[in-house]
Structure 1
Amino acid sequence: MANPDLSLNLSFVRTEMAGATPPPRGERGLANWLRTNLFATPVDAALSIFAILLLVWFLPPIINWLFINAVWTGPDRSVCSTTVQGGIQPEGWSGACWAFVNAKFQQFLYGRYPFEERWRVDLVAALFVLLLIPLLIPKVPRKGLNAIVFFFIFPIVAFFLLVGGWFGLRYVETPLWGGLLVTLVLSFVGIAVSLPLGIVLALGRRSQLPVIKLLSVIFIEMVRGVPLVTVLFMASVMLPLFLPPGVTFDKLLRALIGVALFASAYMAEVVRGGLQAIPKGQYEGADSLGLNYWQKTSLIVLPQALKLVIPGIVNTFIGLFKDTSLVYIIGMFDLLGIVRQNFADANWSSPQTPATGLIFAGFVFWIFCFSMSRYSIFMERRLDTSHKK
């Protein structure tokens, strides 16, 4: 028989979880972070001290060159050959000539695109950002519609706006394009085309059909066996030789095709690695459900494979974005190419101009590449379900 006193008096039983208590004082704060991350062991302490000494040694001259002794505005190279206090600078004086970047900034963005038509480039850039941001934020609804507009409708609108010749817009030939405009066009088209084409090539290489597998292997190995410079040279110089008389392609279009095909071959190997990492049980489970090949691939296998190879995919995107600078060899001027072209301007010929221009171009490339890298880390963490039961 149960004890009636126990059923009436339950005050000793906790009805709510105890609240979280702060960690001990010695386990929090700046001192704990330094001890944990920089001075956990004697080796860590020695390496940290060595790194701090290197920073103390190198940072002050770099900061002086980039900011303190730099010249920010001016009409020509004369402002980069005199100190702030006046007088001629000594030989070997170091100080960034940001006046050169400031004077050429519009050209670095648009190339030789007509000044009165640059609003079209700005409009395309605004549409690109407005469509890309909702696509990157997971909580924004209607991702499918957003993706259709971004990858299919936006390129058509951008083509009509940038090229012109329709709807009363002035025609702007692609040789006038340059700077960051060309870099972003090449990278966007290359990324948008290389991922789906790479997936198709990866599936083709794993296909059980001999002809499809052989064609996929030949394409991937041939493209991966030559440098991008060769592909661009073939697309720009050799391809017109094999076309019928009177048939030609725009140089930018040829570069776009070459960059997209080159990146798709590398993307195919990245995706194939993800497909091979999927356990055999996933395929067998899909077969037991009666799914056909395309249902099994699109609903079960491919989503898991792409999640596994996000770092490799983004790494290919970053490499593609940086490799766009190679179009300089076929007479196209991307951001780096337009910066280098302006080194020959006699009005800005000074020892500080090349280093300043290259640092500016490198910083722009770093911003885009770092942004892609950080977003890939965010997506990896969001899609990581290994901790869930």
Structure 2
Amino acid sequence: MHRIGIIGGGQLGKMMILDAKRLDYYFVILDPTKNCPADSIADEHIVASFDDVEAIKQLAECVDVVTYEFEHINAKALQLLEEQGHKVYPSSETLLHIQNKLNQKDWLRKHKIPVPDYLDVNGIEEILQAGDKYGYPIILKTCTGGYDGKGNAIIRAREEVETAYDCLGAGKFPLMVEEFVPFQKEVSIFVCRSANGDIKVFPVAENVHVNSILDETTVPAVISKESTDEAMEIAKKTIEVFGCCGMLCIELFVKKDGHILVNELAPRPHNSGHYTIEGCYTSQYENHIRAILSQPLGDTSLIRPTAMKNIIGQTNGDANVQGLEEAYQKPGVKIHLYGKDKVAVGRKMGHITATATTIEEALEAVRFAHEKISF
């Protein structure tokens, strides 16, 4: 029996375990929260901080392979595990290239993968210089730690520079500026690479964000064949140049002319890939597990058009779900609840997917179900 360690016990870890339990694999998670989403189905749970190097070593010693469900972890701790002979996928080297967004962009640019133009900035004066260079709006980003729009600020005019700088820590974190891309669509593509070198690419997904948090994903993305082909090529090249083993999510901009730019990478399964559970023959979670165990990867083809909608907290308090019976009135609807004790404004509490004969039908079904569910 394979024993797998996951750093992180959130919903992504939970969904990895759900798919892999069909093969009776044994899971040990490390997470500081006792009743985190994956706790209810993990075989063992090491309750410890993500910075606890000794706990991470303890995790590695009781499993065959270590993976992780988010990238804001101690890459040096992973390096230490590798030096001691433990298998860690994606590797610490992959994580170091991706964890810092400036390093990530430098590595992409070095390998001639198209990205928006960007600059490393230190202080207000250099942000103003970047504004003069690119013209407004510009995007100010923290190089580390951002997710769901946290760590990003759109600066629409010179007068907003100081406020944005203060909002992002006033120099406490390393910062970068990116040119603003007037894109046609935001899409994402998922690519998986096995430890044995096998590569599979999933269909391109189209994403809509509200308040910088993913709201809806529809697949296939309604983009040209040329844009789709370009995204597929970028996906294969990117996973190779980062030496990534496991799932890699690539968030992309489709420019007005149809060409593709890479926005950001995540070396793990991703929120916008939830659709793969019902929409594809093999989900991103199953292929991630297959990849880190050096197994052949599964078929990533789309079964039929699919839509996914996030269930985002609108209030603060205890998480008591209501409306499931009404939400299930639409055929094809599947509801995933993450099992978080507390609901909070902006917190991801679950998601809904639907498959149908058209994207429009699938979208209508998830929106109908979404209206019925509350906490």
Question: Is the shorter-chain TM-score for this pair beyond 0.5, marking a shared fold?
Answer: no
Q: TM-score, normalised by structure 1?
A: 0.21
Larger RCO: 1 or 2 (CA < 8 Å, sep 6+): 1
Flag the structure with higher strand content: 2
Give the structure with higher Rg (CA). Answer: 1
